Each structure stands twice: as C-alpha cells, then as structure tokens.
Structure 1
Amino acid sequence: MLTHTKSFIMIVDDNPTNTKVLFDFLQASGFRVLVAKNGESALEKLQAVSPDLILLDVMMPGIDGFETCDRLKASPATQEIPVIFMTALSDAVDKVKGLSLGAVDYITKPFQQEEVLARVNLHLKLHHLNKQLEQRVAERTAELTFALEKLQQSQLQLVQSEKMSALGQLVAGVAHEINNPAGFIKGNLIHFQEYIQDLIHHIYLYQKRVSEAEIAQHAEEIDLEYLLEDLPKTLASMQQGVERICDISVSLRTFSRADSNAKILFNIHDGIDSTILILKHRLKASNEHPAIEVVRNYGNLPLIECFPGQLNQVFMNLIANAIDALEESNIGRSFSDIKANPNQIIIQTTLIDKNYILIKIKDNGVGMSDEVQKKVFDNLFTTKPVGQGTGLGLAIAKSIIVEKHGGTLEVKSLPKEGAEFAITIPVRDKN
C-alpha cells in the first residue's frame, strides 16, 4: 500500500527523458508533481510553491545540484524541505558532500522504480513524523512555559506569604513592646493628674493664708510626704516609657528600612539589635519558663556593603527559628529544670581576613537530624505543624545571603544539642 499519495513532489532535472519517466511514474503512484528544468528555475518556482519533497539532479548547467541544495538550506522558507539527490556518480566523496549540504538521501541513475518509490515514501513519512514531533515539542514547550509561569507566580505568592508572615510577627512584637510602656504611661498619668491637682490645691491654701493647722490637715489628707516622694518616680517612669517607645521606633526603622537598587554601608550589629528588640516579647519569662538569655559576643566589625532590609529579614528568620526550637525543647520540662539549664541564644560576630564577616547564631534547643539538615534550606520544607510555617523562610534567607550578597549560609546541628547557623558575607561588594 502506498503512503503519502497526496504529497507534492518537485523534480529538478535538465534531462527531459529522466524527467518524463519520473513524472509519469510518480503521478501514476498518486503524487502531485511539479517539474523544474534547472536550479535557477527551481529556486524561482519555490517562491510560490512549497513541495513536500524535492528530487534534485546533481549535474546541471548553470548552478549545479550542490549549489542549488546549499541555497535551499540557506533559506528559512525552504530549509526544512527534504532533498534527495539524483546522480549517476558513484564517487563516495560526492555523496558525502551532498549529505553534508543537507540532503537526506541519494538515488542512483538509471532509476529502479521500486527503489525510488520506497525512498520517496520513507523520507516523506520521516518528514511528516518530524513535523508532528516539532509540533508536539512546540505544544509541550508552550505547556511547560505556561506551567513555569504559573510556578513562578505561585513562588512569588509564597514569597509574599512569607513576607506577610514575617510582617505579622513583626507587628505582633512591636504592638506588644509598645503596649507595655504605653500602658504604664497611661496608668501613671492618672496618678500624675491627681498629684498635680492636690499640689495645686495645697499651694492655693498657702495663697489664702489659711492657718498652719489647716495646711497640715490638708497635707495629711493628700499624704504630701508620699506624693512628693512618688511624683519624681512617676515622672521618671513615664520618661523611661517614652524612651522605650522611641527605641522601638528606631529599631523598627532600622529593621524595615527600604533598600535602594544599590548596596549601602550598614552596621550589622544595628540590624541584629533591632531584630532582638522586636522579638523581645518572645524572649521574656512566662509562667512556663524563665526568660531566654541572648548573649551577644560582638567583634569589631567595619560597615559592610549590603541590602540592610534583606539582611534584617535573615536575622529575623534565624533568631525566630531559634526561639521556636527553644520553646519546643521546653515541652515536658518544669520551670526549675529549664532554670537549671537555661534557654540561650548566642550571637557571635567576627571579622575574617579583613574581607569577610562571620555571624554565628546558636541555640541550645532541640537540634536537627542529618535528614532535616539536608532539607532545611529547601523550598516548602518545614518541620512545623500545618499553619505554623510556610517552609520558605530559610530558603529565602539562603537566597538573600548567597545570591544577593555573594556569601554563604550553613547549619551545624545534632539532635537535642541545639543548632548553629553560620553566615559569611564579604565586607565589600564583589560585583
């Protein structure tokens, strides 16, 4: 059974006898056939038609078959059309030359009709399958491109989710820290107002020149001795509260400062300190456990070129994770047990060879297994319960350190012996 009987074939040959034999045979086999007498004529006709296969004679006047094939393969409009050379040449060098120009096969004169039909059908089938494959590849590529875009959108959404999670933690910490000083300022203002009213009234008695007995009686009523002792303390307490709110405000600005397109000089210790202050509400003592101790062993570091806001996000993630690990380690332990072996986060900074800084954040919490350590920086990996972690924090942290700052972020840990995260960052931008 013949295949591709409706395919369109062009014959390019200057020999009328050969052309007529091929034309009659192929047409009888069900093909549509077009004839060109030489290379120039073929190239001209190919501007208007697009055959499925070309039978091209090698030896022709004007431009020969090799040059004609070379021009066909150089044109985007015809380069995919399969070319079969027709030749009486038996020299292998000529055949290699033709194949190197892009031809798919040779047919040797005089023609054997069965061989011609077999080769034509074979290469038409291969050409058809190749087109199908290219179409499937294009469709699959489009599908993969669409899937990649969707994945990138999902990743952006997850990154945004992680930022919102960090923002929620930040807001909760700031609200807690501000509520405390604001609360005692508000409470002290009530007493302060009463004290002022009593003092004003007491002074008014002097202005009225009342008797010493009445002044003494009023002093006893308002407990003047205690009032004069407590009033400076109340003012000092409110001053302390205001200063604390100012410190929180400064830390918040330091933590969340907007980065420019270029790196700027920044004091790493300011970033760490601001993060600790924002997380202070999670470090305080409660009914279940004593306060978490933060030990800061700071070295003498220069200002470094970096994106401060991004580094602060890394510090927030690592210190918050350390607190999570310590809280997990406290499960099942009594207050006295924890006090005997207190929760601790140790932060150490060091200058290495004047070119890099090293930041270590270590806790004495639950630690990690080897399996967890291998996955801890992977996207979406988390050991936290559903709804309590996105699995993006450490992946984003590593991206910030490695890709944005040309540094490294590594972890060392053993189960029940805590974990240590080590960050190295170049002092100056290497780019």
Structure 2
Amino acid sequence: MHKTKRTILLVDDSVPNVDVLLDLLDGLGHRVLVAENGESALQRCRLAKPDVIFMNTILPGIDGVECCRRIKAEAEFRQIPVVIMSDDSDDGELRSHCFKSGACAFITKPAIRDEVVAILNNQLELIELREQVKTSNGAEARSLEEFDLLVDFIAHDMKSPIVCITGFAEELAEQFSEVEVDAEWHEFLGYIHHSANDVDIILEALVLLKNLRTLEWREPELVKLESLFQGVLSRYEQFESYKPLEMNASCNDYSVISQPTLLEELVFILIRNFGNLIEPGETLQLNVEIESSNNGQILLRLNANTRAMTDVELSHILEPLQGKKRKRVKDVSIQMLCAQKIISYLAINAWAEHGPKDSLTVCLNLETGG
C-alpha cells in the first residue's frame, strides 16, 4: 500500500458499481470522490484535482470517452491518469477510442480487485516518481551522481571484453568453416555471440536510462515525421543486428510537438524490437499509418510482420515493470524498459494491439499543436 493518501475520482451513475469500487479504494486508504456524469466529473477535477480517475464509458450526457478527451484537453489535468471501465470486453473499436482519448488503461466490468489494484499502483508509482524527482535532496543527488559515474565506468570498461568475445567467436566460426566439426560447436558459438550481444544491449540500456534520468527538461518543438523516420532508418542501417527493412509510410504532411531526440530514440527502439520478433531470414516490413483527430493529436500506428503475439504479451509489451517484477516477453529486449521510460517522460499515451495475423502494432498518440 502506498504511504501517501491519494484522491481518487469515480465517475459512474451505477450505485452497485460505485459501491464496489468505493469499498475497495477506501479500504486502500485513499480519499474517494464520486461523480455521476461527465459534467460533474469535470467540475470535480477543477475543484479537487484528483490523482487518478476511474470512469465508466456509459454516462448520462457526455460519455466517458468524450469526458476523458475534455479532461486531457486541459493542460492542468493532462497528467491525471484516466482508467476507462466498460461492460463490453470484445469491442476493439471502443477500446481504441478510449486510448485515443487519452485513457491510460481499460478495465472490463465487473472489475477484478487484483486488476484494479495493479493498475492503480502502477499509476501511483509513476506519480510518486515524478514527485521524488522534483523533491530529491542533495544527499540523494550525490548518491545518484556516484551511481551514474559507476554506470559510465562499467559501460566503458565492458566494451573491450565484449569486442574480444565477439571477435574471437567470429574467428573460431571462420576456422570451423574450413574444417569439419560437430554441428553443436557451431551452435555453441552462436550462443556465445548472442550472449555477448545481450550484454552489450543491457549496458546500452543502463546508459540510456541514466541519461533519461539526468536529462534536463526542454520545451517541446515541432518535429517533422518524415525527417524523424529518415534519421531512424539511417541509424538502423548502421545497427550491428540490422535486418533488411522495407518501410511503407507517408509522413510528408505531418509534424508533431515533442522532443525530437527522445522521440527518435523511442521509434528506433521500437523498430529494433520489431526486428527481434520476425522469423529468421525474413525482411522486416514496417507499415506506418497516421490518423488525424480534431483535438490537436494524431495517432501513429507502427506495425511490422512480427510473429503472432498473444493477448498476454500485448498487455506487457509496453509495461515491462509490474510492481517489483518484470514481465518478460520472449525476444523483447531490456530496451523496451527504456521505451516505457521515454513514453512516460514525454507524457505520450501509448499501447500495443494486434495487427494483421496477430502481429504487433504499437500505437502512439502525439500532439500536433493544432
């Protein structure tokens, strides 16, 4: 249980539903406010500024999706996490509309206690993390500086051994090609090379996470998506584990408001992980779709010809941290933890969904400033 007492807003006109959640959240030690419709929810936000909102889709007057969109349209409330609740678990279009409106999670009613608690705890941990960053004292700062220095030393000093391991593995592979050896030795060399690459990726992720934590806040600026993807593709072609890539995208007329370096890093990480999820020997086929909305946002859909993803994997692909445990998705690297941190830092609403043949699609809601 979180030590800080938080304010939770429930938006639902069903008394039984409210009673269930009210008992649960009150039992967790939080202050709970209730609104019976969308207009009342907006008023409660202005008066009390809740920390988290649980909102039903069907409400008198404006529905939950529209109410969420209006809340997110106000700069003062944009950071408030909104969890949408619905009776319909099979309506993929409704789920998509909810996330487009700015919702952080989607719950099917009747709500399961463990699911509500897990989602609430994840959002409260993000809130507490932001508050800790703002209020960290000098001793904590010095400790973090020492840790950052240690990360830099480790990353620097490990590079040479990794290069030696991969270099000797490649030399042995060349020698084995000239003599007859058992197939298992080629398999062993593959494990060595793959393991060395994994260590390199972990070190790269540590450095990136350190850089994200120490990054100074910069005002967002206009980013042309065409230029952004050109930069990403140029970097990907230099990537050691590069796989042939075909991209289908039309971004010429689209720009977004963001931090260009971080947004490029996010897309680069996503493409790298798409490459890990395709069948060996296949060309990575990346499709980029863009949908405009009337609320100054666009929905960027990145889909690739990955293997079929299960529903469980989709739920964890952009949420590598669940409490103190990380839910691993096969063939997805620790870099996705960095992706989640970048998403949080940029306050982007992002989610994963099925594409053609149950392949992976990652959706990003981006501000256009329009």
TM-score of the superposed pair, with normalisation by structure 2? 0.37
Greater relative contact order (Cα < 8 A, sep 6+): 2
Rg larger in 1 or in 2?
1
TM-score (norm 1): 0.32
